[in-house]
Chains A and B, each alone.
Chain A
Amino acid sequence: MADAATRMPPQFELRFLMTQGAFTVAADLEIAARAIALFGPSGSGKTTILEVIAGLRSPKHGRITVCGRILCDTDTHTNVPVRDRHVGYVPQDVLLFPHLDVRRNVTYAQPRRRHIDMPDLDQLLGLTTLMDRKVSGLSGGERQRVALARALYSGPDVLLLDEPLAAVDLARRRLILDTLVAIRDELRVPLVYVTHSPEEARAIADYAIVLDEGNVIAAGVPDDVLP
């Protein structure tokens, strides 16, 4: 196994313009990183970028590439359907399926060739005791773990995380952050991480994009661009 640090970091391309009513989000970036932090105040367009990558929103024009794979290119009329984008998306409100138990939530996706084994997931996220529980009885931290497991189960090309620590109490944040680092380094799933905390961004990302009102105002090494 090659050491994580010596491997070529995954390639991303985010060049697009997306408008929604009066709100516009634009980016023009080529990135090589294992974890990208999207940083900025509320309403700056962080979540919109995640949704554009996931395919839940379509840019007016532009090109999105994840790990070298083109997901969207308006010039060639390429638009990979959401279901074939192989992204693991954990929205801020996690959105576990309320009518399914934990096990069925986690195993909802069909495992791909390059999937992640259940024992590995279990070891990483501590799911064993949760598996047969109902979703409605879970705590904030438990929900977050289940949502991560669900997003990872099929072995996605990238994990899109929208403020994953927002609903987790302070004591548990460290634990989840460590887990995310493990996902990044051991499972080798690149992350795109939305946050408004510079500390979190520094702890997890090797590349940061600072957004304000839909515009990229700075991008680069976290220590250089974050406040």
Chain B
Amino acid sequence: MQTEILDIAVFTTLAALVATVVMLPPGIGLAWVLARHQFRGKAIVETLASLPLVMPPVATGLMLLWLVGRRGPVGRALAPFGIEIVFTPAAVVLAMAIMGLPLLVRTARAGFEQVTKRYEQMAETLGARPWRVFTTVTLPLASRNILAGALLGFTRALGEFGATIVVAGSIPGRTRTLAVGIYTYTETGQDARAASLLAVSVTLAFGAALIANRLARVD
């Protein structure tokens, strides 16, 4: 039982880490676009980006299942390469990344909004091209918020349940995460195991949330 609990804890943490890495590029890009650009349909993009936060996670999971399932548009495109997402660790990572993304985007966006545009203008007068301005000035100045957002996204990923169980299922040793494990063990009356997972999950979430809150605080 001990190794089983440990396996689930390690797998969940790793999957959440990978999910965080996966959500960073689109999350940072989206946050920057929302913070710095006005365009038609911005409200729609904004709403879409926060949808996983307000929608029931199971509904998000069902949408993902429809997308990446073998009959869905993404699933069909991947099928010729022998790649299948549903019921694999990739599905866990996908569900976690989608659910964590809104938190990352929100926090990072606030960070970008705090960066004075004039620093970027200074870099421009010094000859920097847009990409260099972004990587050497904008990104470092917003890094604290981005880090906080990544941590929040990571915490959300750690606790993700609804979307995960729909698109990844609950397969021991393959897709069973802390939250899914707690559900499965509770459903089968294995209260001691559920309690162990609960303890692990509370500890992990507490630590991550503590650091995230400390980082997000403006000093």
- Chain A interface residues (CB < 8 Å from chain B): 54-56, 81-89, 91, 95, 97-99, 108-110, 112, 150-151, 154
Contacts and interface: CB of A to CB of B under 8 A. Distances in A.
B118 A95 contact: yes
B53 interface: no
Interface of B: 116, 118-119, 121-129, 136-137, 140-141, 143
Contact of B137 (A82, A97, A110, A154): A97
Nearest to A88: B125
21 contacts: A55-B125, A56-B121, A81-B124, A83-B124, A83-B125, A83-B126, A83-B127, A83-B128, A88-B125, A97-B119, A97-B123, A97-B137, A99-B140, A108-B126, A108-B128, A109-B127, A109-B128, A110-B127, A151-B125, A151-B126, A154-B127
> Interface residues of A: mostly helix, strand, loop or mixed?
loop
A88 B122 CA distance: 9
Contacts of A86: 127
A160 B7 CA distance: 62
Contact of B125 (A89, A98, A99, A110): A89
A108 B122 CA distance: 10
Please provide the 7 A-B residue pairs with the shortest distance between their CB atoms, ordered closest to farther.
Answer: A109-B126, A82-B124, A89-B125, A99-B140, A83-B127, A95-B122, A83-B124
A155 to B, nearest CB: 11
Given A82-B121, A89-B122, A91-B118, A99 B141 contact: yes
B120 to A, nearest CB: 10
B122 A84 contact: no
